[in-house]
Structure 1
Amino acid sequence: MVSHLQAPAYSSSHSPYPIEGLVQVFTCPHRGFFTSVMAEALRIAGQGTPVLVVQFLKGGINQGIDHPMRLGQNLDWIRCDLPRCIDTPQLEEGEAQSLESLWQYTRQVVFQGQYELVVLDELSLAINFGLISESAVLSFLRDRPGHVDVILTGPDMPRSLLDIADQITELRRSHQP
Structure 2
Amino acid sequence: MNHRRLEKGFVHVYTGNGKGKTTAALGLALRAIGHGYRVFMLQFMKGSKEYGEIKAAEKYLPELTIVQSGLETFVDKENPSPEDIALARQGLDMARKVIMEGNYDLVILDEINVAVDFDLIPLDAVLDLIRNKPNHVELILTGRYAHPKIIKAADVVTEMNLINHPYYDGVEARKGIEY
- Per the TM superposition, whether the score is higher than 0.5 is yes
SS of the aligned residue for 1:169 comes to strand
Q: 2:44–2:69: 8 Å Cα contact kept in structure 1?
A: yes
Inter-partner Cα distance in structure 1 for 2:136 and 2:47: 30
Assess, with a 3 A threshold, how the Cα gap between structure 1 residues 48 and 89 changes in structure 2: closer, same or farther.
farther
Shift of 1:175: 5.6
**Runs (4+) off by over 4 Å:** 174-177
- The structure with more helix, counted as a fraction of residues: 2
One-letter code aligned to 1:45: I
Inter-partner Cα distance in structure 2 for 1:107 and 1:33: 21
Q: How does 1:1-177 map to 2 (within 5 A)?
A: 6-7=4-5, 19-30=7-18, 33-61=21-49, 70=58, 72-174=61-163
Write the deviation string for residues 53-106 of structure 1: whole angstroms up to 9, x where unpaired: 1110111339xxxxxx64523110111152424352523323322221111011
Q: 1:53–1:75: 8 Å Cα contact kept in structure 2?
A: yes
Shift of 1:154: 1.3
Inter-partner Cα distance in structure 2 for 1:27 and 1:81: 20
SS of the aligned residue for 1:120 comes to strand
Assess, with a 3 A threshold, how the Cα gap between structure 1 residues 142 and 94 changes in structure 2: closer, same or farther.
same
SS of the aligned residue for 2:90 comes to helix
Assess, with a 3 A threshold, how the Cα gap between structure 1 residues 156 and 34 changes in structure 2: closer, same or farther.
same
TM-score for both structures, normalised by structure 1? 0.77
Shift of 1:156: 1.9
Inter-partner Cα distance in structure 2 for 1:99 and 1:174: 31
Inter-partner Cα distance in structure 2 for 1:124 and 1:147: 22
Shift of 1:28: 1.5
SS of the aligned residue for 2:14 comes to strand
Q: 2:16–2:144: 8 Å Cα contact kept in structure 1?
A: yes
- What RMSD in Å do the two structures reach over aligned CA positions? 2.4
Inter-partner Cα distance in structure 2 for 1:173 and 1:100: 30
TM-score for both structures, normalised by structure 2? 0.76
Count of aligned pairs between the two proteins: 156
One-letter code aligned to 1:34: T
Inter-partner Cα distance in structure 2 for 1:137 and 1:35: 21
Write the deviation string for residues 18-65 of structure 1: whole angstroms up to 9, x where unpaired: x22101111112455422221221221232101111110111339xxx
Inter-partner Cα distance in structure 2 for 1:126 and 1:168: 18
